[in-house]
Structure 1
Amino acid sequence: MNTLICSFDGLHDNRVLRYCADFEAHTLYMDTQTEAGEKVSVHFTGLLAHWFENVIQDNILFGIDEISAEGFFEQYKDLLDGTIPYGFPGCCSIEELRERMEREKIRSFVIDASLGLCGFVLAKEVEIQCQSPLI
């Protein structure tokens, strides 16, 4: 089963400078920097939940992919089996989470690492913003 919806270019080998989740505003921002010094910001809006592991001082991204809901539930089955009973990521059963994601048009974004930070973000939208380095 092909679960990949799209890959976001311009993030491979970017160093994660910072990330911040604003639960009141339902957003998550991640600022990264390319090897050439270009700043690239990733803004998730309509945030339902996020889960990161292996977070270290010098995180380097491999990439960010959007995957199908089916792919998300398959890839994170073991994690969800252990966390759903405690309300993460936002419901008390897998079926309730599926229904909520469909109803609210929540998308699944998987973050892969070359080094350090990896995981997922469940959100409605993502926007990538590039900013050239100051000379």
Structure 2
Amino acid sequence: MNVHDSMVVRYSADLENETFAMYLKPDTEEGVKEVNFEGVLAHWFEYVASWNVLYDIEELDVKTFTSYFKKVLLEGKSDGWPLFFETLEDLEEQLVNKGYKTYYISGCCGITGFVIAEQVSVKV
């Protein structure tokens, strides 16, 4: 996904409709890109500021995802977040079986985190 050096203008979650949108202002283009995640199970971010600049949004395989975000996932486990699971392997299996994909959102400055969703699309 071509979002490198895009400024995050805003983002919003619609929990009822299981959607999450990020609005990005590209460094080299006019206008705003809209990144839409659908069938959202959960999202998590840290280092959010008013000057967030993205490095990339990439789909990770679930093993890489659970390895990378192990601490966050285990901290949420007792609250049933992102869903109820016994072990990380159990979580991986559930995500795959339910058709979820894991998207890593990395920042050059500011925001970093993930979205677990069924699909993503970009509208220019």
Both proteins in one fold, TM over 0.5:
yes
Equivalent in 81, 95, 117 of residue 123 of structure 1: 117
Percent of aligned positions with the same letter in both sequences? 32
5+ residue gaps, structure 1, are 1-7, 131-135
Q: Does residue 49 of the first structure (1) align with residue 42 of the second (2)?
A: yes
CA separation in 2, counterparts of 1:66 and 1:92? 22
Equivalent in 22, 26, 33 of residue 18 of structure 2: 26
Name whichever of 54-63 and 86-95 sits farther off. 86-95
The TM-score, its normalising length taken from structure 1, stands at 0.85
What displacement does 1:78 show?
Answer: 1.6
2:99 maps to 105
How many pairs are equivalent? 122
CA deviation map 1:89-119 (0-9, x unaligned): 1224334422321221100000000111110
5+ residue gaps, structure 2, are none
Deviant stretches of 4+, over 4 Å: none
CA RMSD after TM alignment: 1.2
* Helix, strand or coil at the partner of 1:86: coil
CA deviation map 1:31-90 (0-9, x unaligned): 101123331110000000000000001111011010101111111112212221121112
CA separation in 2, counterparts of 1:97 and 1:91? 8
